[in-house]
Structure 1
Amino acid sequence: MKRTTTQLQQWLQADSQYLHDEQIAKRVVIDSRIVQEGDLFIPFRGEHSNGHQYVRQAIEDGAVASLWLKDEPNPPTDLPLIFVEDSELALQQLARAYREEINPVVIGVTGSNGKTSTKDLITATLQPYFKVQKTEGNFNNELGLPLTILNLDEDVEVAVLEMGMSGFGEISFLSKMAKPRFTVITNIGEAHMEALGSREGIARAKFEIIDGLQDGVLFYDGDEPLLQPLVDQTDVRAESFGYRERNRHHLVAVEQLEGGTAFRVEGTIHGDFEMNIYGEYQAKNALPALAIGHALGLSIEQMQSALKTAKLTAMRMEPVYLETGALVLNDAYNAAPTSMKAALNFFANYHHREKKWLILGDMLELGEEELTYHADLQEAVKMVKPERVYLVGERMKALAEALLKMCDAEIVHTLEKDSLKGLFSESTREHVILLKGSRGMALETLLP
């Protein structure tokens, strides 16, 4: 972004002091600790801190201006300020105005599992041929999304924006702000069951992503029966993807390679593809990337070449080779029953190393049936045929008890993950180890 502070004032239709046309804002930040030369600082008031007390320091650190809430007393009279009613609303208003001016092709991505991987795969497919920027980290909510939009380059051609939520109405709000041309629903899982009540509720919340769709296309998981009725109730242009032949884009063969995955796609797109990424479910996540690439005019050959160099955000089935020779598949960014079973299914079919360990952590935010969801993983674990299973957390006790009755593996359950520190120093030269749990478990800290 390169806008004068007076332009930002005009976008906000707000009063100001000491603004000058030569003051150019290049970035918007809400954390005073990361302020750089040319930033616009937006202070927020919270329960434990008030960003207004850092405004002067932000200006001294290089911010060209700051917002200031009208009801916040004692505004400094010698600093460049824009006076607003609400910091969050002002941030969102700026994002809407900037999005309208630069007008890129926006791709909105949501889903219970796989949205970050899908975002990465869409970006990898398009990046050799367009100027593409994507949501970084977890900037996918009512604060993160407008910050992402405001920090897009002016000449960006495609913006791949992840949209997260914890309740009804949130995805709709984000979609209307971003105004996507293409939207993607990766799947419907069980995360946020506490807030949304059922998988049907989760499906309705995710489907809100069409609310801001600008005469474009929804790409959705055609293997998920909860989505099809929602598609049928709208006149939105929609294309399904998945394993079933009736899907517009479907997988007909997936092969696990030593260093990744090979797969064939049929339907609207016909072709063979390879990725240096593990997981059959990642092949499915690649389908909307290919469908969008096709819609934007890329050839099969262009997309084949792009996918070969695709990389995912860290801790998404990330291969980590230890000094012992062991291969750890670090999938510890998050976990829910759907993604856990998908990872275990992949692991069961991974045959390049026969000696397997599992290190699984609690799955969080599953509501009243959380223990049942954990115990229900027993068959998927058994199919892996692991030598050892390490289970971490209170909820994983339910799976431990189920496995002790029907699995030949050595089962170790612990409430404290630190008790497993040093585990990888054992003789694991020929082993492959799956590491997976919810974000709150932070299992990656076990790695040496």
Structure 2
Amino acid sequence: MIQRTIKQLSEMISVINDYQSFENKTIQGVCIDTRNLVMGSLYVPIIGQNFDGHQFVEEAINQGVAAALWQRNVPNPPVHLPILIVEDTLEALQQLAKSYRHQLNLKVIGITGSNGKTTTKDMVTNLLSLQYKVQKTEGNYNNHIGLPLTILQLEEDTEMSVLEMGMSGRGEIDFLSRLASPDAVIITNIGESHLLDLGSREGIAEAKLEILNGLKANGKIIYFGDEPLLRDKLDHYDGDATLFTFGKTESNTIYPTEITTTDSGSYFKVNNIDEVYHLPVLGTHNIMNALSAMLVANEFHIPFSKINEGFKSLKLTNMRMELLEGANGVKIINDAYNASPTSVKAAIELVSSLPGYEKKVLVLGDMLELGPDEVDFHYEIGKALHPEKIDLVYTFGKLGNEIARGARETLQENQVQTFTNKQTLIEELKKQSKPNTLVLVKASRGMKLEEVVVGLQT
């Protein structure tokens, strides 16, 4: 993590007050929350809609932080304490991270996309770790506050940093990319998330492509080549970066030639390589994420022959295609972290294709932030279900009712049920919970369907 004297900090951000009396004091790390203070760190008070971190500055210093920032327009700064007055504390945090990033001798991989960012981040980190010291975005620290904090956590001897870049509107990826200055970027796909804010998939594609704006000279661009919205834009790219594509079709730089799906993951081969790769992660859609990680790793001198070694120890962030065992031997796929039409279809395709189960049950909740067509998106998910591949569909939430409405057009009435109470849903699921039964739990994060997973395990 960052370790600098106050004097050095003043050369990285613009400080307004006189700090000479404590300029030789050293800070180690940065924190923004007094509930998670780090001794000797720099406390940055953030001003939000319903809170102001400045009210905790004295408490933070009394608890052992080395110094704190203070925003100029906030009255009554505690001048008897080691504080650095800045124009804007959030902007100072971001500038500090940007300065620190350029002081480090490392390579940065930036990852964005509608789905699969975190999974791809985990895969890239595992593969690069075969040869380098790597640090990655932890949790959901992928926005205008989280990304600077992630960068400031990087160790001086870190060789590779894998940074996830999230967004909800235009300009956000542009800002993050310019802050992080990536050496290579991955765009996993273009889905329907954030249609509410961006209006169309075209708008989403344009927002995701902002990740190119901070790309270093002679960088590398790796993107999902089966997506026309990306192909159309990048076919006319005239920058100095090298472009690579991944996807299912033979027009891509890398694509699968054979795929075998099991409940322990996937086995697959790719063009021009004899190796059979084992990805210990459920879902053929995750092979696409793996292909992008393989391209990045190979460009940074990890040979394709070592990729299996990196995949072997792969463990994804929780609630992403986790295969768990519940009470009575039922198998549960916990994919409750997030959902969009694209990711829900991929999860259903996985469940449909897995062999060895007598009964397959879908538990599907609302997909959020889909804009004015949200009802149609949910209805189409249900309508596309195949009666020979899915036995039961349980939906949760107001929009989940639309999935059920569509499902009733292809499945029998007794195969579809809607729920508004999670405990009732859990009790009904437990009646179906037997060995050789597979249950998929999938919804947007706000629906908190991981509570259903926990209920099935007890």
- TM-score, normalization by structure 1: 0.96
1:316: which partner in 2? 320
Cα separation, 1, equivalents of 2:32 and 2:113? 27
What is the CA–CA distance in structure 2 between the aligned matches of 1:136 and 1:174, rounded to whole Å?
16
3-state SS, counterpart of residue 161 of structure 1: strand
Equivalent position to 1:376, from 377, 380, 385: 380
Shift in alpha-carbon separation, 1:124–1:147, aligned structure 2, 3 A: same
Give, in angstroms, the shift of residue 122 of structure 1. Answer: 0.4
Give the whole-Å Cα distance in 2 for the aligned partners of 1:393 and 1:319: 24
Q: Please say if 1:444 is aligned against 2:450.
A: yes
1:5-404 to structure 2, matched below 5 A, reads 5-14=6-15, 15-17=17-19, 20-214=22-216, 215-236=218-239, 237-267=242-272, 271-382=275-386, 385-404=389-408
1:428 corresponds to 2:431: no
* Structure 2: gaps spanning 5 or more residues: none
What is the alpha-carbon distance in structure 1 between the residues aligned to residue 274 and residue 86 of structure 2? 53
Residues 307 and 323 of structure 1: CA distance in aligned 2, closer, same or farther (over 3 Å): same
- The separation in 2 between residues aligned to 1:108 and 1:270, in whole angstroms, is 29
Quote the offset at 1:259 in angstroms. 1.2
What residue ranges of structure 1 are gaps of 5+ in the alignment?
none
Offset, 1:162 = 0.3
Q: Distance in 1 between matches of 2:253 and 2:430?
A: 48
1:21-41 per-residue CA deviation (whole Å, 9 max, x = no partner) reads 553222111112111202111
Q: For 2:49 and 2:114, locate their aligned partners in 1 and report how far apart those are by CA, in whole Å.
A: 30
How far 1:270 moved relative to its partner?
Answer: 5.5
Deviation string, structure 1 residues 243-292 (Cα, Å, up to 9, x no partner): 0001001111211123111111115x653210211110111100111101
Deviation at 1:300, TM superposition (A): 2.1
- Counterpart of 1:226 in structure 2: which amino acid? L
Report which stretch shifted further, 101-110 or 401-410.
401-410
Q: CA deviation at 1:383?
A: 5.8
> How far apart in 1 are the matches of 2:21 and 2:450?
47
Mapped to 1, the partners of 2:120 and 2:207 lie a distance apart of: 19
Matches within 5 A, 1:408-423: 408=412, 410-423=415-428
> C-alpha deviations, 1:63-121, integer Å up to 9, x for none?
10000011111111221000101111101100011000013110000000011101111
AA matched with 1:308: K
Task: Note if contact 1:38-1:64 (Cα within 8 Å) is conserved in structure 2.
Answer: yes
For 2:18 and 2:383, the matched residues in 1 are separated by: 63
Instruction: State the Cα distance separating 1:16 from its structure 2 match.
Output: 4.1
Q: Tell me if structure 2 keeps the 8 A contact 1:36–1:61.
A: no
Name the SS for the 2:11 alignment partner: helix
Shift in Å, 1:3: 1.3
Which amino acid is the alignment partner of residue 89 of structure 2? S
Change (3 A) 1:244 1:162: same
Letter in 1 for 2:426: K
Name the CA shift for 1:67/1:252 in 2 (closer, same or farther; >3 Å).
same
Look up the equivalent residue of 2:100 and give its one-letter code: Y
C-alpha separation in 2, matches of 1:339 and 1:441 = 16
Distance 2:21 2:110 in 1: 35
Instruction: Work out the CA distance in 1 between the residues paired with 2:346 and 2:49.
Output: 40
Query: How far has the Cα of 1:384 moved from its partner?
Result: 6.6
1:19–1:293: structure 2 CA closer, same or farther, 3 Å change rule? farther
Contact 1:391 1:414 in 2 (8 A): yes
In 2, distance between residues paired with 1:200 and 1:256? 32
Secondary structure of 1:63's counterpart equals: coil
The amino acid that maps onto 1:79 is L
Q: Take 1:330 and 1:383, find their aligned partners in 2: how far apart are those partners?
A: 22
TM-score under structure 2 length normalisation: 0.94
Q: CA deviation at 1:231?
A: 0.3
Q: Secondary structure at the match of 2:57?
A: helix
Query: How many pairs align?
Result: 447
1:379 to 1:350, Cα distance in 2 relative to 1, 3 A: farther
Percent identity between the aligned chains?
Answer: 42
The question of whether the paired residues in 2 share the 8 Å contact of 1:12 and 1:93 is answered with yes
Equivalent pair of 1:221/1:241 in contact (CA under 8 Å): yes
Matched residues in 1 for 2:429 and 2:420: separation? 19
CA contact (8 A) 2:387 2:411 kept: no
Moved more, 316-325 or 154-163: 316-325
More deviation, 435-444/38-47: 38-47
Aligned AA (2:57): V
- State the secondary structure of the residue aligned to 2:22: coil
Deviates more, 1:104-113 or 1:232-241: 232-241
Instruction: Give the counterpart letter for 1:127 in structure 2.
Output: S
Contact 1:5 1:19 in 2 (8 A): no
User: What amino acid does structure 2 have at the position aligned with 1:241?
Assistant: F
Q: Which amino acid is 1:38 matched to?
A: G
C-alpha spacing 1:423/1:24, structure 2 compared with 1 (3 Å): farther
Deviation at 1:440, TM superposition (A): 0.5
Q: Distance in 2 between matches of 1:128 and 1:226?
A: 34
